[in-house]
Structure 1
Amino acid sequence: MDNEESSLTCSTPQAKPTGSICKICESPASHSYFGAIACSACKMFFRRNAEKDLEQFKCAYDGKCEVNLKNRHVCSACRLAKCFASGMEVERIRCSMPMKKIIKTQHRTTTDPPSSVTNLLSDYSTLSSSQWNHISKLIFYHDTYGPLSVVQHFFSEQVALPAKLRYKALALNDFFTSVYLKAEQVLINNEDYRRLSSQDQSTLIHQTLRHAGAFAGIFVSHQTKLLDDTLFYKANESLFGSSTMTSLKFITNSLDDDVVFIKLIVAILFFSPANYTSFTDRIAQSFIDPQMILSIQNTYIELAWKYMTYKHSFQYAVLCFAELLRSLFHYYRIAVQADIVDTFTTMIHSVINQTKEIVLVSDN
């Protein structure tokens, strides 16, 4: 009788009162798995990883990552540690092992993509611990050095002013300059970027600041709802035109709600050395090792793809990338329009020169 009860406890989820939350990521949960109340995602995460060698899981931030619904996929080491701390036990997996093959088979049957596109996937559902760590680092660069704090400070500073004094031309110029400089810090502090030669670092900044910095700014505008401020919108409309601002609002509203994915896209754009518009610095520059830059970009694309298929589904990932392409095409159209604004191109040149000086100083 004791053995039967033990088996039942291990293999069968125990119902909990409605309204419970997952002890690991704090998402809604109604059952206990392996000894702790958990959602299905954390249950499967623990089942897949609990018996692996813990040396495979290393936290880039000394085990201090916060684990919640929004970032539970970022650091596997901290998520697994929280699973154990919440009461999950490896022994409970082992006694329910006969069910594992059935669950896995059912999952693959219902979610596998059509055979015509299966060759796109080398690993459908999981990333290695090193890939999760790589994602974690890219998120760290964006959160630590990105322009979000600049946008938040600017917005609160302007709102405190009388309406007639808000969003003047000089304030907007300083604001956009600060956004680009902060966005570029995301690249400058990237370990992959630092592996490049000083010439390739300088050239990459010159060729990617225009677009990657703008996209990073669009993302934080999406986060802070900056374009919903009527006065800010009208001030920029007078500078760039109504059609440009309409397209910009469309792009901002169409960004995916998964912030990890968007931050990975920003990283990809910083390693996309292509001049999509007529903007030029009139300086002929070439890369010493273009293959290294493209290899980094390819790694980031793979991380973004695997992350989306892991967290969501193959179908959702396809739709998400398709929507991203549409947004980028909209952006490149308005980028051409912005290039004819003299004050804007002057600002871009100024930011590029300032950033180049930073790179040269750090290189020496």
Structure 2
Amino acid sequence: MPAKEHLFISPQQAPSDSAQMPPNNPSNFSLCLICGDRARFNNYGALSCQSCKTFFRRNGFRPETVRPCTLVNKCEINMKTRHSCTYCRLSKCFAVGMTSDLIRKEDLKSSKRLSSTKNTQITTISRIVITSFQSQDRTILSDSQWTLLSNIVHAYDACNTISHIKQILNNSSESIDETKKDIIDPMDMLNQICESVILFISSLPDFRILTQNEQISLLNRNLHGVMGFYSTFVFRQIGIFNHANYLNAFEAIYGMNIISAIKNVMEQLDSNETIIKIALIILTFSSESYVDTDRNVDMDTLSYGTFRLLGSQNVYVELLWKYLTYQYGYGRAAVRFAQFIQIVLCIVRNLAMLHVNNEIHRRISDAIVEHIKQMLVFIESEPRPLWGKGLPT
């Protein structure tokens, strides 16, 4: 199971070892932080009942094997529902502070008691598991990188309109006559998605130091890839293809094969939103165009400033890699990073095919680019804080 967004722990939130395992007090009853059942002891880093302790011990090492949530990854977990959704229950265990490292410590103690002669071998195997699964060593990221990561998360959240888009989607689905499903205009939703990602990008210092012409050149070059990646993520978050009228509208434009390809990528896309947020910036500052749009290279004001883009991009690539290593350990970080690259290449391939073969898609893309240019002029004329600080969230 990919890590979920709410599992992200900032330096300020990360508990110390002493905070993770305060002394147990068997004389006091309290409530389990996961399901609300009676609990006496801190198990694996959080006050929890025996049921949730057993559950976490059984699943904490193997989150990737847990069946995904069938709803929206927000199931309520209590005593009655704790057996209904393994995905959301395990996510809540991690969110309240449980860590598999403490299971390993317990296993090591048991192993030492079982056989002192095999202690060295067992310890070595356990350390391999730690390396391949999860690091949680905060020193992997420097203080400045933690600050940068915090700023990215805040900027994205301040500009994020997914909940608003989801509301529009639901209202439109309820109000549309069943006989007129095919009249939905995807442009409205794509413009909403585009505005959200541009507001996010325009709050980045690396973007703000560019001139307006350079900003337009950069987005002319990379907007197709950024929008393709982000739209895939948003479509998954809002469950767009669960709404027949929108599914029909997009199928009418893109065809069944492309919709099937989008669904396939949606299933593979990482569910850790922090990864998505960093990835958007990496894609924005690419020095190569994702799709050949016949743009006039002579008018590209960044054509001789590739090193500037690589400087920005490298900062965020390093940040993504270190964050992945912090969250999952080296082995799983490498797998996730490779999967991210594979997904981007798949999206770019589909976009390139669409640009060549689908005239409606080209018109939609051109309209979005023009909309973005107008947005940038408006943003330039408005004093806006960096990193979205001060913007309503």
Quickly name the TM-score band, shorter chain normalised.
0.5 to 0.7
- Equivalent of 2:361 in 323, 341, 344: 344
Matches within 5 A, 1:26-37: 30-31=41-42, 37=47
Q: Give the direction of change, closer, same or farther, for the CA distance of 1:273–1:309 in structure 2 (3 Å limit).
A: same
Q: Give the direction of change, closer, same or farther, for the CA distance of 1:9–1:253 in structure 2 (3 Å limit).
A: closer
* CA–CA separation in structure 2 for the residues paired with 1:336 and 1:312: 33
* CA–CA separation in structure 2 for the residues paired with 1:327 and 1:9: 39
Q: Give the direction of change, closer, same or farther, for the CA distance of 1:359–1:124 in structure 2 (3 Å limit).
A: same
Match of 1:163 in 2: 178
Q: 1:191, CA displacement in angstroms?
A: 2.0
* CA–CA separation in structure 2 for the residues paired with 1:306 and 1:9: 24
* CA–CA separation in structure 2 for the residues paired with 1:173 and 1:353: 13
Q: 1:183, CA displacement in angstroms?
A: 1.8
Match of 2:24 in 1: 14
Match of 2:374 in 1: 357
Matches within 5 A, 1:233-252: 233-252=247-266
Are 2:207 and 1:193 equivalent residues in the alignment?
yes
Matches within 5 A, 1:96-115: 110-112=129-131
Q: Give the direction of change, closer, same or farther, for the CA distance of 1:232–1:9 in structure 2 (3 Å limit).
A: closer
* CA–CA separation in structure 2 for the residues paired with 1:197 and 1:29: 60
Q: Give the direction of change, closer, same or farther, for the CA distance of 1:363–1:229 in structure 2 (3 Å limit).
A: closer
Match of 1:290 in 2: 306
Q: Give the direction of change, closer, same or farther, for the CA distance of 1:316–1:132 in structure 2 (3 Å limit).
A: same
* CA–CA separation in structure 1 for the residues paired with 2:287 and 2:131: 34
* CA–CA separation in structure 1 for the residues paired with 2:352 and 2:225: 11
TM-score by length of 1: 0.66
Are 2:335 and 1:325 equivalent residues in the alignment?
no
Describe the SS at the equivalent of 1:312.
Answer: helix
Q: 1:178, CA displacement in angstroms?
A: 2.7
Higher-RCO chain (CA-CA 8 Å, sequence separation at least 6) = 2
> What amino acid is aligned across from residue 293 of structure 1 in structure 2?
L
Q: Size of the alignment, in residue pairs?
A: 285
> What amino acid is aligned across from residue 262 of structure 1 in structure 2?
I
Matches within 5 A, 1:171-186: 171-186=185-200
Q: 1:362, CA displacement in angstroms?
A: 4.2
Match of 1:279 in 2: 293
5+ unaligned residues in a row in structure 2: which ranges?
1-17, 53-90, 98-122, 382-393
> What amino acid is aligned across from residue 162 of structure 2 in structure 1?
L
* CA–CA separation in structure 1 for the residues paired with 2:146 and 2:265: 28
Conserved? CA contact 2:182–2:245, under 8 Å: yes
Q: 1:282, CA displacement in angstroms?
A: 4.1
Describe the SS at the equivalent of 2:140.
Answer: coil
Larger deviation: 257-266 or 177-186?
177-186
Are 2:259 and 1:266 equivalent residues in the alignment?
no
- Equivalent of 1:131 in 136, 140, 145: 145
Q: Give the direction of change, closer, same or farther, for the CA distance of 1:286–1:160 in structure 2 (3 Å limit).
A: same
Q: 1:11, CA displacement in angstroms?
A: 9.0
Q: 1:234, CA displacement in angstroms?
A: 2.8
> What amino acid is aligned across from residue 151 of structure 1 in structure 2?
I
Are 2:264 and 1:253 equivalent residues in the alignment?
no
Q: Give the direction of change, closer, same or farther, for the CA distance of 1:358–1:257 in structure 2 (3 Å limit).
A: closer
Match of 1:49 in 2: none
Conserved? CA contact 1:244–1:337, under 8 Å: no
Are 2:320 and 1:309 equivalent residues in the alignment?
no
Conserved? CA contact 1:207–1:275, under 8 Å: yes
Describe the SS at the equivalent of 1:160.
Answer: helix
Q: Give the direction of change, closer, same or farther, for the CA distance of 1:259–1:275 in structure 2 (3 Å limit).
A: same
TM-score by length of 2: 0.62
> What amino acid is aligned across from residue 31 of structure 1 in structure 2?
N
* CA–CA separation in structure 1 for the residues paired with 2:342 and 2:40: 36
* CA–CA separation in structure 1 for the residues paired with 2:19 and 2:339: 44
> What amino acid is aligned across from residue 20 of structure 1 in structure 2?
C
- Equivalent of 2:154 in 140, 157, 163: 140
Conserved? CA contact 1:267–1:300, under 8 Å: yes
Conserved? CA contact 2:228–2:347, under 8 Å: no
